[in-house]
Chains A and B, each alone.
Chain A
Amino acid sequence: MALVEVKGVSKRFGGLTAVSDVDLTVDAGEVHCLIGPNGAGKSTLFKLIVGLYPPTQGSILFDTVDITAERPYARVQRGMSIKMQAPSVFKELPVRQNIQIALQERLSGAERITEEDRLLTLLNLGPDSEKLAGALSHGQQQWLEIGMALALKPQLLLLDEPTAGMSPEETFKTGELIKSFNAEGMTVLVVEHDMAFVRQVAQRVTVLHLGKIFARGNLENILQDEKVAEIYLGKTHAH
């Protein structure tokens, strides 16, 4: 069953068409990766889905409800959760308070504190919980933001380049974390450059090129597609 349906969506910025007539379906329970070379329109499509940009044309459905005109907060209240490309945490607030702000609508009292502790431990941020979020390393800030997104216990987790700036070990661990949440039923849509990470987590892949859908399917088929290799992966990756 489709959880997200993007139907004929285009986005133009003046004379530039960043996304052109895109159809995309994300099924409930899958990890779907959106890949493509720089300038392909991945981040624009991501921002269209989360509601940061209004589409020039087309519609977006979440759980069969048309959310095209809804603001981001309303989409989050429906069950989406978002992690943006650049770390976007509350830098002047302590790490724990960042998590608390994400959790407070869902849990309160001792339950909330227990969940805060669980997430901080899961993200290896326990010892730094009283530090200001701005004092964390880039990779830790990425994890903190993933933690804030997870704290909402969403149906759909949207991640824009979640491993940017992470070490290979941190990247692998992030992949395992995403897989574990997917195993519990969470649907995940990831925009990502790192092919090792895509191989680790993706169940289905959509390739964007010049703002259009170029290919889609499972990762093995995509990797064997000569045209995809030419525009994005490099032939050495394909063979």
Chain B
Amino acid sequence: MFKLLEGPQTLGRGKIFWSCFLAVLAGALTYPLFADSYDVGNFAYFLIWIFMALGLCLMWGYGGMLSFGQTLFFGIAGYGYGVLAINMGGGTATIAALVLSVVLAMLAAGILGYFMIWGGINGIFFGIVTLSATLVLAFFLGQTAGPEWHIGPARLNGFNGMKGMDPLTVGDFYIEGSALYYTMIALIVIVYLALRMLVNSGIGNVIVATRENPQRAEMLGYDVRKYQLLTFVIGSGLAGLSGALYTSWGQFITPSSIGLPAAAMPIVWVAFSGRNDLTATLVGSFLLLFGFQTITVYSQQAALVLMGALLLATVMLAPQGFVLGIGKLAADWWGGRRRRDDGAVAEEAGRLQPEES
């Protein structure tokens, strides 16, 4: 099973790659020992969004489905967590609320995806329909300011957003600060490795085959609609995980975290990073989120303009993504160096052979 961690669908293999992976992981695990709690909390916040980026990478980069609806499922799970956590009374029930809200997002993705995929919607229309659904949800939630809009004791609160839910809690222990950070790291490692195994498996083969040529994939006996729906549900579920964690982190959620500017962000992260590779998406999204947050402290408008400029630069200069491009260059350079070294060793070995051999 672990053989699937490496394969044709993922960049990075061998001892050097996994040593780097472990080094980065060790750095991430020891970071809270050296940083102050404010920075650790900020890092946990960046990491929350990574799941949404990885989900879009799976759908768009591997499955060929450009979904503009990541914040739709982010919002469904985010609000779902809030409603469930408040109604279930907080405490350890928040863990159940987290799981159920992600399931809710996946269920919604299953229903929307079924109608889109079985209805033959693909290409640019897939993006248009998912964006429309996203905007409808954001608009609807903005209209829920009145007291009549509540589910049990949980009020939706219109544009002001929903608040009052507990953070993730186990017994009396709130998962915040460093605990939340470590939870994020653990979840990212699990999700990243699981996605690597998925895309390098037989199912992953069919997912990329469907992206390349859905008719040919069907002519090999695969019901490509089922694979597309599976990809859409998993990718949307990951967006939902981000949403539920976001609500838990801040103990609030507003419709603005679903609307158009928010919906465009995952596309920028994944396009800039390199949509065809999970590692590139993971690294690139983190760097962008870090940069965006740093600039936002000084000027939110400047940060948004920079994101737009980055998207344009990606489209014009590196359509496959900057981080992926750099990764491939590094891999080619390393491979070339090893081939040269191997050639030199073979030449040397040949020179040392006795004449008669």
Contacts and interface: CB of A to CB of B under 8 A. Distances in A.
Interface string A80-93: 01101000111111
Contacts of A52: 215
Contacts, number: 62
Contact of B220 (A50, A97, A148): A148
Interface in A120-154: 148, 152
Contact of B218 (A71, A92, A97, A102): A71
Nearest to A94: B8
Interface of A: 50, 52, 71-74, 76-77, 81-82, 84, 88-94, 97, 100-102, 104-105, 148, 152
Contacts of B213: 88-91
A76 B220 contact: yes
Given A101-B206, A104-B205, A93 B223 contact: no
A72 B205 contact: no
Given A73-B224, A91-B213, 12 more contacts: A52-B215, A73-B218, A76-B219, A84-B216, A89-B216, A90-B212, A90-B213, A93-B8, A93-B208, A101-B206, A105-B220, A152-B221
Interface in B262-300: none
Interface string B206-243: 10110011011111111110000000000000000000
B120 to A, nearest CB: 12
A90 B153 CA distance: 53
18 contacts: A73-B219, A73-B222, A73-B223, A81-B219, A84-B215, A88-B215, A88-B216, A88-B219, A91-B213, A93-B8, A93-B212, A100-B205, A101-B206, A104-B202, A104-B205, A105-B202, A105-B221, A152-B220
Interface of B is mostly: helix
Contacts of A50: 219
Interface size class of B (residues with CB under 8 A): 10 to 19
Contact of B219 (A84, A91, A104): A84
Interface of B: 8, 202, 205-206, 208-209, 212-213, 215-224
Contact of A77 (B8, B209, B215, B221): B221
Q: Which 3 A-B pairs have the closest CB atoms?
A: A76-B221, A90-B212, A88-B216
Nearest to A87: B216
Contacts of A100: 205
A143 to B, nearest CB: 15
Given A97-B205, A104-B202, A72 B212 contact: no
B215 A90 contact: no
Nearest to B206: A101
A94 B209 CA distance: 11
Contacts of A81: 219
A156 B307 CA distance: 54
A72 B212 CA distance: 18
Contacts of B220: 76, 101-102, 105, 148, 152
B209 A90 contact: yes
B212 A92 contact: yes
Contacts of A84: 215-216, 219
Given A101-B205, A104-B205, A72 B216 contact: no
Contacts of B215: 52, 72, 84, 88
A24 B100 CA distance: 55
A89 B208 CA distance: 12
Contacts of A148: 216, 220
Contacts of B205: 97, 100-101, 104
Nearest to A78: B221
A94 B219 CA distance: 19
B139 to A, nearest CB: 37
B2 to A, nearest CB: 15
